[in-house]
Amino acid sequence: MRGLQGRVALVTGAGAGIGAAVATRLAEEGALVAVVDRDEAAAKAVAATLDGAVGIGADVADSAQVAAAVAEAAKLGDHIHIVVNIAGNSRPAMFKKMEEEAFQSVLDVHLTGTYRVTQAALPHLPEDGTGRILNTTSAAGLVGTIGQANYAAAKAGLIGLTKSLAKELARKGITANAVAPLAATAMTETVRTNPKFAEKQLERIPLGRWAEPAEVAGTYAFLASDDAAYITGQVLAVDGGTVI
């Protein structure tokens, strides 16, 4: 990817799964990566495998921890060029049984967490056309889902946030896009391994399989690169054709 060498990237939820894969791919492309995760040991373990990376423990649901993480990431260079919001959680339940705490918890991590990280990092983003904000939505945010109204609501909210950021920040040369991935991670383990759900879910994927996290990481790297400098406000589904 053009233009990633030496740029600083902050990736949340990067202790495992898609976040770790994205942090790894960006580092392979030459970026200096701040690997951020609520599990500090996991963040440091991933960072230890990457050249020029630093592992930071921070919960995106805590504003003070977010501010500290951004300040630490900013030490990697003159700017934070790339902000990748991947941190997430899951509290599934049918809507009639969903408790308010579970609904709010998912919004607080996915949607408000993205707000916290992006707002804290914004003063560090350059205004020379290299600033990138990459958010993570999903098919649930595009078409809804059964048993995860909280998750779908958060992911739909992220689409609106991304498009608004794209319009608001365009004048500063900063792009904002969202990726809607579908991959074999801890968050999808239940629907991948439970016989009650697994077969039906695979039937919804035209390519008939789950992606590995590394297969979707390249999309984030592309959108972070100079090759995507004229792309903003878009949602790119990387889901085997689930949403067409």
pLDDT of residue 201: 85
The string of pLDDT tens digits covering residues 138-164 is 999 999 999 999 999 999 999 999 999
pLDDT of residue 143: 96
* Residue whose entry in the numeric block shows the structure tokens 């608001």: 168
Q: How far apart are CA 143 and CA 140, in angstroms?
A: 5
pLDDT of residue 199: 82
* Residue whose entry in the numeric block shows the structure tokens 């999309």: 219
Is 90 exceeded by the pLDDT of residue 188? Answer: no
> What six digits make up the tokens of 18?
């898609």
- Span 2-11, average pLDDT: 97
Tell me the fold of 8-237: Rossmann fold (3.40.50)
The string of pLDDT tens digits covering residues 124-136 is 999 999 999 999 9
pLDDT of residue 187: 83
- Span 91-115, average pLDDT: 98
Q: How far apart are CA 178 and CA 220, in angstroms?
A: 9
What is the overall mean pLDDT for the chain? 96
Q: Where do the structural domains in the chain lie, given as residue ranges?
A: 8-237
* % of the chain beyond a pLDDT of 90: 91
Catalytic residues: 151
The string of pLDDT tens digits covering residues 14-43 is 999 999 999 999 999 999 999 999 999 999
pLDDT category at 122 given cuts 50, 70, 90 is: very high
- Span 2-18, average pLDDT: 97
| Largest Cα span, the chain | 51
pLDDT of residue 221: 98
Is 90 exceeded by the pLDDT of residue 102? Answer: yes
The string of pLDDT tens digits covering residues 189-239 is 878 888 777 888 888 999 999 999 999 999 999 999 999 999 999 999 999
Q: How far apart are CA 4 and CA 185, in angstroms?
A: 26
